[in-house]
Chain A
Amino acid sequence: MEVLINGVFIGALYGLYGLGLALTLGLMRQINLAHGDFIVFSAYLTLQGSLLLGVHPLMVLPVVAVVMFVVGFVLQRLVIQRTLGRGEMPPILVTFGLSIILQNVMLELFSADTRNLNPGPLGAASIEIAGLSLGVLPLLTLVVAFAIFWATSAVFGSTKFGRAIRATSDSDQTAQLMGIKTSRIFAVAMGLTLAISAIAAGFYGMRGNFDPSTGPERMLFAFEAVILGGVGSIWGALAGGILLGLSQAAGSLINPSYGPLVGHLVFLVVLLALPGGLMSLRRRQ
């Protein structure tokens, strides 16, 4: 039972990875293949900040999120924006190149050493609920994930900015006719996705280890969470992430090495049976 609950906790983290991707993929119709590497990069920034200032990683996290927002804004404005409107391939190729560049820059800057963020006493803390021993850090991850999903969904669902983004993604030209500065809107949205990834990176780094080459695996989990949930749905990414985490936990109950395998298998089955993802079930009703 506790194993499965832990699966939900991990799933929430996968959902957070997926959220950034869900926004770029579903709402902006562009794929950021360097998503995983940006997560790892944020984790390194958090580590450096926390070592430099001698404070808990959670204290540095908001600053890193702001930094990554700026990075995302500039990146979209200066690089990705230039590739849009020429079909699907250019943004994919550009972000693929970015992924390789980022991995090698991180290798240069931080070496190939495996690192993690030290959560201090928070990491070992646990509380007992109904006879089950639950870690405080994983619980906190779950709460933060829900809060971020709620905030994102509120921003995109009911603000003027959210409407502008959705309008831009539906029809770039019509949105421009309505007086929306589409390039600026996309830049802000990209900034947001990287800021969310930075938060995910903080919790990822406190949970496990990272090195410059672990980005693509984060990317894989993020993709699976998004596809499982259904492209274009914000809450779908969370549902998909949790389903993925649960499947991995169930797999690890059979044999600890089977966890990732079962996760991928479930992904495959859902993709075959429900190509629209979990959220397509709700839409059909």
Chain B
Amino acid sequence: MTRRSRVAGMTRREALQGLGGAAATLGLSSGLAAPALAGSDVLRIGYVSPQTGSLAPFAESDPFMLQKVRAALASGLTVNGKTYEVEISEVDDQSNSDRAATSANRLINGEEVNLMLAQGASTAVPVSAQCEVAGVPCITTMDPWQGWMFPQGGDPAVGFEYVNHFFWGIEDIISTFIGMWDGQDTNKKVATVWSNDPPGKVFGSKDIGFPASLGAGGYEITDVGEFQVGADDFSAQITAFRNAGCDIVTGLFSPSEWAIFWRQAQQLGFKPKIATPAKALLFPAGIAALGNGGDGMSTEIWWTPAYPYKSTLTGQSSQELAGDYTATSGRPWTQPIGVVHALWELGINALKNAADPMDPDSVQDVIRNTNMTTIIGDIDFAGSPVKNVAKLKIAGGQWRLQPDGSYALKVTYNAAAPEVPIEDTFKLGVGI
């Protein structure tokens, strides 16, 4: 499961492997792994992500991204005049939090990584928890910060010693969604469907989630209860929404759950004017699965090729990075590409600027005081009111069916991220 890459030169282990026979080195290498580290000039980065399983779309670009990062580090990393080789150990946790915890443990104790990077809604928390205990600097993303901080017993005013997180918070998605809906010609009746899992609980929370803000914004909520993750029958919810005459539907869905929900909504004759599911429509595949029915559906936006920023690793603009991905993989760009790229930018930045990149405290010190412009915009740990957390800005947009039958995502709302250009105005009606 773990793949190792040699970035530059020859490691001591490989030199030994050259001398010994293949069979002998199997035993040798495991015995040497730990002592080989002290005093050597190899920096090790552990990377845990859900490359397969239900969260796989978020890690779809990982092979491409790792290849980019490795190429950028091919001649090593020079810190304070000393050049280090960089080894990256990547692990697929199969979207399983237990596996994520075990993998992190193995990377910490087996590989003795100097820095841990991780992404994924079920990955960030278990990996962070292991790193905090072991004292390994760690940066995670792809999970609303509340869903990362509170399950670990964190306090926004105090924070953590070694673990850091960057992403949006529930408050950002609420203000973006309501901002998109405000001023549209609807009856302000909102149907909400949250999943029965930790992120769903945050979205549906009466204190910090949608219910409080929707009420304050003059919206009337219809909600008949949470659904089990992986549910394949939404007829109870849909019938209630249709009978209540809701003009707007929102919720927290995986792409495949949303496809089922929308199919059944059409079967049951529920026709809202606005459909803004969180998470489900981040991906081109998610909207393509809806056939022609997805035209006009709206979503939050974390990053698009229209973002006016450049990578600090490769120097590419957003447009170039997206184009590079499509050319390399033959697949359309996705929003997590920008976020995962920013994760690597932050990680490499921390190692490069550390007084001693082998020293966990010194690396953590850099992360804590980071304020840099990445491919997704400004990531500011230093000035953040929430300790160890930096927020990324989000915009809102609509998927538009193109004449050739494909979909294009157009930014329609940018109140929180004014640098991102508006590409179109919001249009009412879904699937018309």
Decide: A256 near B52, CB < 8 A? Known: A112-B94, A118-B289, A133-B267: no
At the interface with chain A, which of B137-145, B258-266, B388-396, B400-408?
B258-266
- Chain A interface residue count, CB cutoff 8 Å, equals 39
Which of A3, A116, A249 contacts B259, CB < 8 Å? A116
Contacts of B293 in A (CB 8 A): 124
Contact pattern, B 250-271, Cβ under 8 Å of A = 1, otherwise 0: 0000101101101110111100
Contacts of A10 in B (CB 8 A): 233
Question: Restricting to A104-136, which residues have a CB under 8 Å from any CB of B?
Answer: 111-116, 118-121, 123-126, 128, 133-136
Complex CA gap A209/B232 in Å reads: 7
Which of B53, B235, B289 contacts A6, CB < 8 Å? B235
**B196 and A2: CB pair below 8 A?**
no
Contacts of A128 in B (CB 8 A): 269
Question: Restricting to A1-34, which residues have a CB under 8 Å from any CB of B?
Answer: 2-3, 6, 10
**A114 and B54: CB pair below 8 A?**
yes
Within the complex, the shortest CB–CB distance from B205 to chain A, in Å, comes to 16
A197 at the interface (CB under 8 A from B): no
Question: Restricting to B39-81, which residues have a CB under 8 Å from any CB of A?
Answer: 52-54, 56
Max chain A CB contacts within 10 Å: which of B56, B257, B268? B268
A211 at the interface (CB under 8 A from B): yes
Contacts of A3 in B (CB 8 A): 235-236, 239
Decide: A257 near B225, CB < 8 A? Known: A116-B259, A208-B232: yes
Complex CA gap A24/B215 in Å reads: 56
B216 at the interface (CB under 8 A from A): no
Residue of A nearest to B237 (CB): A256
Contacts of B94 in A (CB 8 A): 112
Within the complex, the shortest CB–CB distance from B249 to chain A, in Å, comes to 15
**A257 and B226: CB pair below 8 A?**
yes
**A256 and B267: CB pair below 8 A?**
no
Within the complex, the shortest CB–CB distance from B420 to chain A, in Å, comes to 31
Question: Restricting to A123-173, which residues have a CB under 8 Å from any CB of B?
Answer: 123-126, 128, 133-138
Complex CA gap A128/B269 in Å reads: 9
Q: Contact size class for B? A: 35 or more
**A6 and B233: CB pair below 8 A?**
yes
Complex CA gap A258/B128 in Å reads: 33
Decide: A116 near B256, CB < 8 A? Known: A3-B239, A256-B237: yes
Complex CA gap A249/B238 in Å reads: 13
Complex CA gap A262/B333 in Å reads: 43
Max chain B CB contacts within 10 Å: which of A248, A252, A253? A252
Contacts of A136 in B (CB 8 A): 267
**A252 and B232: CB pair below 8 A?**
no
Contacts of B260 in A (CB 8 A): 116, 207-209
Complex CA gap A124/B228 in Å reads: 22
Within the complex, the shortest CB–CB distance from B93 to chain A, in Å, comes to 10
Which of A126, A137, A211, A255 contacts B225, CB < 8 Å? A255
Residue of A nearest to B264 (CB): A135
Contacts of A133 in B (CB 8 A): 267-269
Contacts of B268 in A (CB 8 A): 2, 126, 133, 135
Contacts of A119 in B (CB 8 A): 263
Residue of B nearest to A136 (CB): B267
B1 at the interface (CB under 8 A from A): no
Decide: A252 near B236, CB < 8 A? Known: A113-B53, A116-B256: yes
Contact pattern, B 268-312, Cβ under 8 Å of A = 1, otherwise 0: 110000000000000000000101010000000000000000000
A240 at the interface (CB under 8 A from B): no
Decide: A256 near B231, CB < 8 A? Known: A207-B260, A208-B260: yes
Complex CA gap A159/B264 in Å reads: 40
**A135 and B231: CB pair below 8 A?**
no
Complex CA gap A245/B163 in Å reads: 47
Decide: A124 near B233, CB < 8 A? Known: A3-B239, A111-B56, A114-B54: no
Complex CA gap A214/B293 in Å reads: 28
B227 at the interface (CB under 8 A from A): yes
Give 28 CB contacts A-B under 8 Å: A2-B268, A3-B235, A6-B233, A111-B53, A112-B94, A112-B95, A114-B54, A114-B256, A115-B256, A116-B259, A124-B263, A128-B269, A133-B269, A207-B260, A208-B232, A208-B233, A208-B260, A209-B232, A253-B236, A255-B225, A256-B224, A256-B226, A256-B227, A256-B234, A256-B236, A256-B237, A259-B236, A260-B228
Instruction: Using CB atoms and an 8 Å cutoff, list the residues of chain B in contact with chain A.
Output: 52-54, 56, 94-95, 196, 224-228, 230-237, 239, 254, 256-257, 259-260, 262-264, 266-269, 289, 291, 293
Top 9 nearest A-B pairs by Cβ distance?
A: A208-B232, A135-B267, A124-B266, A133-B269, A112-B53, A255-B225, A252-B236, A6-B235, A111-B52
Instruction: Using CB atoms and an 8 Å cutoff, list the residues of chain A in contact with chain B.
Output: 2-3, 6, 10, 111-116, 118-121, 123-126, 128, 133-138, 207-209, 211, 214, 248-249, 252-253, 255-257, 259-260
Could you list 10 further interchain pairs (A-B, Cβ under 8 angstroms) beyond the known A249-B233, A259-B233? A2-B268, A112-B94, A112-B95, A113-B52, A114-B53, A115-B256, A120-B291, A121-B291, A123-B267, A256-B231
